[in-house]
């Protein structure tokens, strides 16, 4: 047994609906690596249960795994607004939202998040950013005034498979977008932040 196996053996087991969703995503959907996955999913559902949010904004639904995890900590009257650019994923998203019993707690917006975010007139307890990396800073700037004081912005893939360590002249567009975002929030005095080495890197920011 290695340390990863030991960690997983001492972590809450995965919801069977999420296990089924993972299997179907791997069989039927392109780029299944984009799925949040078991270990990170347990982490975010515990974060949600600790915060007990009323309103969550998720940028990047994919097949719905992370939204199901976030929903586990929602208040009874809580809502997740989640944005996905690929409307062809709607059948699998709806299928698993229904299977997990959260279909009345989630509003899915299909389209360009840069256009949709300004149209959502809410303030949020949690914002989860997991979409195209080139626009990370744009998403951050768009949501910042929609986040309550003391609330959280959580951003996925901020290590980008270690590519953030590459020299600037070696960066692809996505890696450059992540590095620009990481450097910006590190110097943003409006937030407290920590970068966690979970899966592909999670940046957690608390608005002061």
| pLDDT one-digit tens code per residue, 49-75 | 999 999 999 999 999 999 999 999 999
By CB neighbour count within 10 A (0-12 exposed, 13-18 middle, 19+ buried), where does 20 fall? Answer: middle
| Pairwise CA distance, residues 71 & 83, whole Å | 15
CATH number (domain holding residue 84): 3.40.50.150
Our CA dihedral for 186, 135, 206, 68, rounded to 10 degrees, sits at -140
pTM: 0.96
- The pair of three-digit structure tokens given for residue 55, joined into one six-digit string: 């309103």
Give the pLDDT confidence of 101-152 residue by residue, as tens digits: 999 999 999 999 999 999 999 999 999 999 999 999 999 999 999 999 999 9
* Domain boundaries, position 199: 3-207
Residue 44 has pLDDT above 90, yes or no: yes
Q: Are 160 and 133 in contact (CB under 8 A)?
A: yes
Give the pLDDT confidence of 69-107 residue by residue, as tens digits: 999 999 999 999 999 999 999 999 999 999 999 999 999
- The number of folded domains in the chain is 1
Residue 169 has pLDDT above 80, yes or no: no
Please work out, in degrees rounded to the nearest 5, the angle formed at the alpha carbon of residue 181 by the alpha carbons of 148 and 54.
Answer: 25
| Pairwise CA distance, residues 179 & 137, whole Å | 10
Which pLDDT value is given to residue 31? 86
């Amino acid at each position: 047994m290695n340390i990863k196996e030991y960690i997983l053996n001492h972590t809450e087991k995965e919801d069977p609906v999420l296990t089924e969703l993972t299997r179907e995503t791997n069989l039927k959907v392109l780029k299944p690596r984009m799925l949040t996955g078991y270990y990170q999913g347990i982490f975010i559902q515990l974060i949600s249960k600790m915060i007990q949010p009323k309103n969550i904004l998720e940028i990047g639904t994919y097949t719905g795994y992370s939204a199901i995890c976030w929903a586990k900590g929602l208040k009874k009257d809580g809502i997740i607004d989640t944005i996905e650019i690929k409307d062809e994923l709607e059948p699998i998203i709806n299928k698993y939202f229904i299977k997990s019993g959260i279909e009345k707690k989630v509003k899915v917006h299909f389209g360009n998040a840069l256009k949709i975010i300004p149209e959502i007139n809410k303030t949020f307890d949690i914002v989860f950013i997991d979409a195209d990396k080139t626009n990370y800073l744009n998403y951050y700037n768009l949501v910042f005034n929609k986040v309550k004081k003391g609330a959280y912005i959580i951003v996925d893939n901020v290590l980008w498979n270690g590519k953030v360590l590459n020299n600037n002249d070696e960066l692809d567009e996505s890696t450059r977008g992540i590095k620009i975002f990481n450097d910006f929030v590190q110097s943003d005095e409006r937030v407290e932040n920590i970068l966690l080495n979970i899966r592909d890197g999670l940046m957690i920011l608390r608005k002061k």
